Chain A
Amino acid sequence: MGKTYNNNEINGEGHVHDLLSTYIDKSLEEPERVRVRAHLEECVDCRADYVELQATSRMLQQMPIVAVPRAFILTPEMVKGARKTYFWERIFAPRTAPTFASGAIVAFGLLIFLAVTSTFATSAKPPLSTAFYQASPQDTIRSSATSDPGSSTGEANTMAEPTTPTEAAEAPNVSASKQSATPPSDAGDDTAMSPPVPADTPAPAVGQGGYIQPGSLITPNTQIASSGNSSPTTVALSTDTQTTDGTTQDNTAGSSPANDVTDNNVQPQPIAVQAPIAQTFDPLLTVEIGLLVIGLVLAGAYLFARRR
């Protein structure tokens, strides 16, 4: 039939041509659906349209699915530079999760190692050094003999004199101590400042200005702490393990021979064993904290990369 209906014709004569497509899809609302069905039963033209439209739709549905001629997967070459992956996307890809895990393990391992060794060092070193510094001139030789054969020993020999108590004052320029021509303010060295006191003085209290017998064992943790006020340089006495004050103090002992000579006053000085405070600025502690933070960050990154 090739005639085309216009709207007026359809509506005027009740033809339903326009609605047939929707009718075929079963999407017509109820009242219209009934009307269309009724009309189709009567109207040959519309029924012919309906039949052929429906056949067309069905045949389209029956069009076969053609097999793909090949797989269309992408190769890395094809996508090279194709996708702008943000660098952080690649960093946190699941593939890199093991890297974070390993990094976290290493960081925590280092942290534990440092913590353990620093604990041993703290307990081991200071006694010897402090003993040295508290030695009187006469004792110097003795103390140098007993002092730690480490670097401090060498300096001790040159020094030969205990730093005076006055110099137990805070030593801002501890760093210069290395040269031993340091200004009097080398308080660091002066931990052991106390003048040579007879042995009957209670030995251990380094921080109390007490005389430390050469070779007497001091547990710095307990006794240094008692002093409460320690200059950074003080801690430097236990330099072998802790360069805690961060200054190149390795031998504060040897730093101020001149002072020793000039200032030789023997009153007990509150030995500014500032170990506790010094530990606040302890670079080792900083490293430990840093490792802890790094370890935590890597662990977090590991978990993030492994998230599902």
Chain B
Amino acid sequence: MSATEEPRRIEAARRGDLDAFNWLVLQYQSRVFNLCLRMLSDPDEAADATQEAFLSAYKAMSRFKGEGFRTWILRIATNACLDMLRSRKRKPSVSIDSWGTNEDGEETLDPLPIADLDPSIDPEGTALRLETINTIQEGLDTLPEDQRMVIVLVDVQGLSYEEAATITGANLGTVKSRVNRARSRLREYLRERNVFPSSGELSRRSERSLTDG
């Protein structure tokens, strides 16, 4: 249904129809927020960046051409994240202790039913433990911004190299090498924290997947 409705809404939004634009906001706010969350690590900053992104998008709506709306809005979102990171450097360091659990011990992470991400995620049905999720997020924070950006787009959001290249404004080869380096660095980080199962078990599991390569 949204496949046919979206072009109409986009056209109306381009003419300044705020309701039509807000329809688009509802369609894409989850993806935008999650991108900002993985990039910034802080839910409040991520919310601010998300709001900024949609506000910028509304202002720029008249310049939106025929490209995919998702690509366009994510490009605006990544710029909003980079702006937030830049201003963060000028401020006291942000605590990321709020990640995982709040004071009441409740999980602050609230997984949605997976809707607009790649349905082939978690084919083996192994959900991550909260602790692992936290460690991975911390590992992302150690990455340089450009590597973090592409690995969130490609691995976390499941986008293609091409779309990531359009979003970040880099060329394909650059995107591939950044993904490569990001994965290596993150892998080192996780290994040092014993996130990986014992090498024996990993090897046994990987024997099967070797043939998939």
Contact = CB atoms under 8 A, between A and B. Distances in A.
Contact of A69 (B38, B47, B212): B47
Contacts of A82: 55, 58-59
A72 B213 contact: no
Given A55-B196, A64-B109, A65-B115, A78 B55 contact: yes
B163 to A, nearest CB: 14
Given A76-B18, A83-B59, A61 B151 contact: no
A61 B121 contact: yes
Given A51-B206, A78-B55, A22 B30 contact: no
A33 B210 CA distance: 11
B184 A53 contact: yes
Nearest to B188: A2
B191 A79 contact: no
Interface of B is mostly: helix
A99 interface: no
Contact of A61 (B26, B118, B137): B118
Contact of B202 (A36, A51, A71): A51
B94 interface: no
Interface residues of B, number: 71
A213 to B, nearest CB: 68
A33 to B, nearest CB: 7
Interface of A: 2, 18, 21-28, 33, 36-37, 40-41, 47-48, 50-74, 76, 78-79, 82-83, 85, 89-90, 92-94, 308
A211 to B, nearest CB: 69
A93 B155 contact: no
Contacts of B147: none
Contacts of B127: 62
A27 B160 CA distance: 11
B117 interface: yes
Contacts of B76: none
A156 B8 CA distance: 69
